[in-house]
Structure 1
Amino acid sequence: MISDRKLEHLEICKNYDVEHHRTTGFEDVELVHRSLPEVDFDEIDTSIEFLGKKLDSPLIISAITGGHSASKEINESLAIASEKTNIAMGVGSQRAGITNPELTDTFTVVRDMAPHATIIGNIGAPQVEYAGSAIDMLDCDILAIHLNPLQEIIQPEGDINAKGFIDDIKEITQTVDIPIMAKETGAGISKKDAQILEKIGIDAIDIEGVGGTSWSAVETYRAENPNLGNLFWDWGITTAVSTVEVVESTDLPVISSGGIRNGLEAAKAISLGASGVGMALPFLKHAYNGPEYVEEKINQFTNELKTAMFLVGAENIKQLQEKRLIITGKTREILTELGIDTKKYARRI
């Protein structure tokens, strides 16, 4: 059953090592310190406008859960904190709640607890028939379409027929009247796929690259034979590389996620051109303790982000996106091979 799988996913993510052994690549990205920042820390503005919504922070709680009774309390904690801090929040795949009414409240609790927050719904690429129900269930502001071929191929009961996904996504974009965001689930998005998504009507892309939770790892713990999952544990495009490649190749807003764990890494992602950042696993672990712990983590993130902005002389997110930085190491090598001029970031003022 889907609900049993959701519970297994939660328990595995909570109790086992599920993160990539490769890093995000942000260790190769260095913001340039300003000894004369000419900024008042107390006046730094971290707000953004994302797909028509004004948010107090570029931080999004990425899709985590829903679809099992145990996830209701988690979503409640996340929603309460999101409402209080005015950040966006995503939910896990809504299919279980749509096909099983007994599980619907594991999702609807989010809107109940966060009536004013920006809520991001979630369906799979081939689930065209679920789009309207997913939106109605949460009165969501944005609908995410998750892309997870790696997870599906490792998952014991995975769907390994990916034919027709482009047409399915295009149909969804043409039939709903709220913004649509495409999101990976830990393997990153390439230039070619980003351009296809833009062409078929997607409004934003959440790249979710390598460096955070590996869904190949999660499914490895569930598989009878772990060999395939172990082999592809670190498969994908690092978060730093995917962020730059998608920003450079499309005009869409980009959410950088996948292993971002603090405000400094978020500042690097935004300086690379991201509109915002997503975090999931750290919030899952805090949500078990209650909404106040989630809010504490959000406030910690904001202070870290503002500190980085202060030290580079950025009064707002737009200025941070334009700040000088240096890209070195493996990340620079990969981007150079992809034909991207990394030196232009260093030539900024």
Structure 2
Amino acid sequence: MTKPKPADRSVAGRKLDHLRAVLEDPDVERGRSGFDTISLTHRALPELDLDAVDTSTRFLDKPLSFPLLISSMTGGTGDEIARINRNLAEAAEATGVAMSVGSQRVLFTDPASKGSFQLRDAAPSIPLIGNIGAVQLNAGLNAGHCLQAVQALEADGLYLHLNPLQEAVQVEGDRDFSNLSGKISDLVSNMPVPVLIKEVGAGLSSSDVELAYAAGIRHFDVAGRGGTSWSRIEYHRRADEEDDLGLVFQDWGLTTVESLLETRDVLVKKTDPTTLIASGGLRDGVDMAKSIILGADLCGMAAPFLAAAQESSAQVIRQIEKLRREFQTAMFLLGCADVSQLNANVSLIRSRSKFW
């Protein structure tokens, strides 16, 4: 490992540090989400017309061309960050998929960052989701701040991201996660849009889901282990060369598959309608199909779009259309004419004894 580079300790500078780490260190992608352990049943006689396979779905009362969410990446000041978000938003609108933005905490430390979150003109019809770290509810942010984040984006929902591992490793991390579920409950009752919970790479456990559901959360993004390791990213920002905490914990947590199974097992017993989002290391349309089969309603990806988003919206569109074709092909080869036939259809999995 190289020596730590000088890190910008401001909230805005942190965003650029994170982007550079993702682009410069291929090993932040851990590649062990659990999807490779799942085999599906190929249908040699699918009895379908591939072009007629319907990949459409709905999310936050809006139609999607297929169950894809461009997951939270970045936001802040500077032309690079603004260009990335604008390219993502334009591509999401052109292809009919959902999008969430990176943490909007920077709005309250650097007002100039607001422009990177003003995306509704580029994406007038798709679901847009804001984003605030849940731990910030213990660090001075309140419902008023969260409302400002929603209004800046004209968002359809607000992510509260849970990142205790990242905060524990981060030099300037906020580590007081005590009594958060009560504050989340208060926030849910005071927000005009749905509040969604997501991890950032270590997965949700059944206990987390139970607590969040009791607090009023009905949308859950597992963001499991196996994709981008934020612990390893923060390792690159360490102040002390001998500090290897980020490496020790770079593979900590539940895999995406483990977290999907735990979360689904909790949610199927609940009476209120819920939404389950799979993210954390999904990298192609087959991973998406497997996630929907495991009970997810939507699939989130971020890293596969980052390089393209630095170039143009057209490049992002190409990546999204590639995923849609892969997902539609997987549905066709499984004999599923629409997403409802895929959702939670565990009969499509081979060697089911591994999971149930």
Cα offset for 1:72? 0.2
Counterparts of 1:164-183 in structure 2, within 5 Å, are 164-183=179-198
Matched, 1:16 2:25: yes
How far, CA to CA, are the matches of 1:197 and 1:22 in structure 2? Answer: 28
* Aligned twin of 1:324: 347
Give the Cα separation in 2 of the matches to 1:221 and 1:147: 21
Partner of 2:120: 111
Quote the RMSD (CA, aligned, Å).
Answer: 1.6
Structure 1 pair 159/328, CA: closer, same or farther in 2 (3 Å)? farther
Q: How does 1:1-349 map to 2 (within 5 A)?
A: 1-21=10-30, 23-69=32-78, 70-108=80-118, 110-125=119-134, 126=137, 127-129=141-143, 130-223=145-238, 224=240, 225-251=242-268, 252-321=274-343, 322=345, 324-326=347-349, 332=354, 342=356
Distance 2:334 2:128 in 1: 31
Checking the alignment, whether the CA contact within 8 Å between 1:128 and 1:171 is kept in structure 2 is: no
SS in 1 for 2:91: helix
Aligned amino acid, residue 30 of structure 1? S
Alpha-carbon offset, residue 120 of structure 1: 0.6
Which amino acid in the other structure matches residue 64 of structure 2?
L
Q: Contact 1:47–1:54 (CA<8 Å) still a contact in 2?
A: yes
Alpha carbons of 1:327 and 1:145: their partners in 2 closer, same or farther (altered >3 Å)? farther
Alpha-carbon separation, structure 2, partners of 1:261 and 1:275: 17
* Deviation of the 1:22 alpha carbon: 5.7
Q: What letter matches 2:267 in structure 1?
A: T
Between the aligned partners of 1:162 and 1:90, the Cα distance in structure 2 is 23
Q: Give the deviation of 1:18 after TM superposition.
A: 4.5
Give the counterpart letter for 2:252 in structure 1.
W
Cα deviation code 1:170-224 (max 9, x no counterpart): 1110101211110100000001111111111112101000110000010001112
Please state how far the C-alpha of 1:82 moved relative to its aligned partner: 0.6
Following TM superposition, by how much is the alpha carbon of 1:87 offset from its aligned partner in structure 2, in angstroms?
A: 0.6
Output the amino acid matched with 1:14.
L
| 94-103 or 24-33, which deviates more | 94-103
SS in 2 for 1:112: coil
Aligned-partner Cα distance in 2 for 1:101–1:11: 23
- Does the 8 Å contact 2:256/2:280 carry over to 1? yes
Deviation of the 1:328 alpha carbon: 5.4
What's the offset of the Cα at 1:67?
1.3
Partners of 2:30 and 2:59 lie apart in 1 by 32
Distance 1:323 1:201 in 2: 28
Give the CA deviation at 1:20. Answer: 5.0
| CA distance in structure 2 between the partners assigned to 1:324 and 1:39 by the alignment | 18
Deviations along 1:128-167, whole A, 9 cap, x unmatched? 3421101111110011110000000000000111112111
Shift of 1:242: 0.5
* Structure 2: runs of 5+ lacking an equivalent: 1-9, 269-273
CA distance in 1, matches of 2:324, 2:243: 39
CA distance in 2: counterparts of 1:326 and 1:158, whole angstroms: 41
Deviation of 1:15 (Å): 1.5
Q: CA deviation at 1:65?
A: 0.4
Say if 2:12 and 2:110, in contact at 8 Å, map to a contact too. no
How far the C-alpha of 1:327 sits from its partner, in A, is 5.9
Cα distance in structure 2, aligned partners of 1:59 and 1:45: 14
Instruction: Name whichever of 84-93 and 162-171 sits farther off.
Output: 162-171
Cα shift readout 1:39-84 (whole Å, capped 9, x = no counterpart):
1111111111223222111010000000131310000100000111
Question: TM-score, length-normalised on structure 2?
Answer: 0.90
Compute the TM-score of the two structures, normalised by the length of structure 1. 0.92
Residue 24 of structure 1 deviates from its aligned partner by 0.6
Which secondary structure does the structure 2 equivalent of 1:255 belong to? strand
Q: Name the counterpart of 1:345.
A: none
How far apart, CA to CA, are the structure 2 residues paired with 1:243 and 1:323?
A: 13
Retained in 2: the 8 A contact 1:19–1:213?
A: yes
Q: Partners in 1 of 2:263 and 2:350 — Cα distance?
A: 16
How many residues of Structure 1 are paired with residues of Structure 2 in the alignment? Answer: 332
* Cα deviation code 1:239-297 (max 9, x no counterpart): 01111110111142110000000001110110111001000011111101110010000
Offset at residue 30 of structure 1 (A): 1.2
Equivalent residue letter for 1:218 = I
Specify the code of the residue in structure 2 equivalent to 1:115.
Answer: P
Give the direction of change, closer, same or farther, for the CA distance of 1:21–1:84 in structure 2 (3 Å limit). Answer: closer
1:194–1:246: 8 Å Cα contact kept in structure 2? yes
CA distance in structure 2 between the partners assigned to 1:300 and 1:147 by the alignment? 30
